Amino acid sequence: MADKPDGELDPARSATQSGFQRRLASGEFAVTAEIGPPRGADTAPVARTAELLRGWVDAVNITDNQGAAVRLSSLAGSIAALRAGVEPIMQLTCRDRNRIALQSELLSAAALGVPSVLIMGGDHPRHGDHADAKPVFDLDSTALLRVAAAMRDKGRLMSGAELKPPPAWLLGAVENPPGPEAAEATGKALHRLAGKIEAGAQFVQTQFVFDVAAFAAWLARVRDLGLDERCYILAGVGPIRSHRALAHLATLPGVVIPGAIADRLAAASADQIRAEGEKLCSEIIGQLAELQGVAGVHVMAIGAETAIPAILQQAGLPARRAS
């Protein structure tokens, strides 16, 4: 990993770097997790979960109305995490806002001390709890990355208006590495990733990785193109805790569950599958930590965050030191 991916803050602004940024720049294996804000007017659930993860992760993603369902905003959740002593990564989707609102949200995050923003397209409203809602998608994720980078690095809005002072964040994106025997899809995914990096993505979190061999093959292509030297790659992981969850995950775009893993979990009883799924997750983390080009893992266990410290311990990852 290069010391300074494209778009990283320059030395004159290094004092503003967050713990997550410093962890990535140091080359140490980074760990992020995910918190879904509640469906209610209360930040306490976010704070409780953040406190549980404090000392185990470098930062937590605060989701933005995940699944296109109404929840407390990602900005409010990010502030709750900050107050609980855990660094937030605010997710921002293109689904619900036009370019005016998106830029305003980005400015608000910076003004309130949110150090990192993860930009993504977002699930279509038809999949959520307001299926008749109008989707916006005024910008796509790559375009919004470009806008956010210009706001930070050039101090300019899309309109050309000057920002005084300009914001500062670490910018992230998401990616779905294709499965095995998907040469055409791999080419498209690499082109998409390169476009996001060119637009300003400094770190990328991937979809769940269960097929480590297929992920390693994709990562080799990423390294061949030198993309890992321009952007930190965090592999998505998470525990499968029920047979129902196993069936659901297998339907998600970008998720490939090898037959051996599906058989292993299917063979576990209803009482055993939770422990088996957590053990499997820790094993995958250990395998990913050995791959060249992997800067860390992103643990997705919404509703099961209490299991994350034990999973990380089982994977051989120590508690976080102060950065």
- Residue 207 vs residues 62, 174, 297: alpha-carbon distances, Å: 16, 7, 11
Structure confidence by residue, pLDDT tens digits, 229-243: 999 999 999 999 999
| Residue 124 DSSP one-character state | -
Q: How far is CA 24 from the centre of its chain?
A: 14
Structure confidence by residue, pLDDT tens digits, 39-69: 999 999 999 999 999 999 999 999 999 999 9
**pLDDT > 70 in the chain, percent:** 93
| Cβ atoms of 308 and 57 closer than 8 Å | yes
The pTM score is 0.92
Counting beta carbons within 10 angstroms of the beta carbon of residue 11, is it exposed (0 to 12), middle (13 to 18) or buried (19 or more)? exposed
278, two tokens: 């957590």
Query: Binning pLDDT at 50, 70 and 90, where does residue 187 land?
Result: confident
| Cβ atoms of 189 and 176 closer than 8 Å | yes
d(CA 53, CA 76): 18
Mean pLDDT value across the chain = 92
Give the CATH class of 11-314.
alpha beta
141, two tokens: 């994720």
Structure confidence by residue, pLDDT tens digits, 197-228: 999 999 999 999 999 999 999 999 999 999 99
d(CA 10, CA 220): 29
Rounded to 5°, the CA angle 109-113-119 comes to 40
| Per-state percent for the chain, helix, strand, coil, to nearest 5 | 45, 15, 40
136, two tokens: 């916006």
| Residue 154 DSSP one-character state | T
Residue 6, pLDDT score: 46
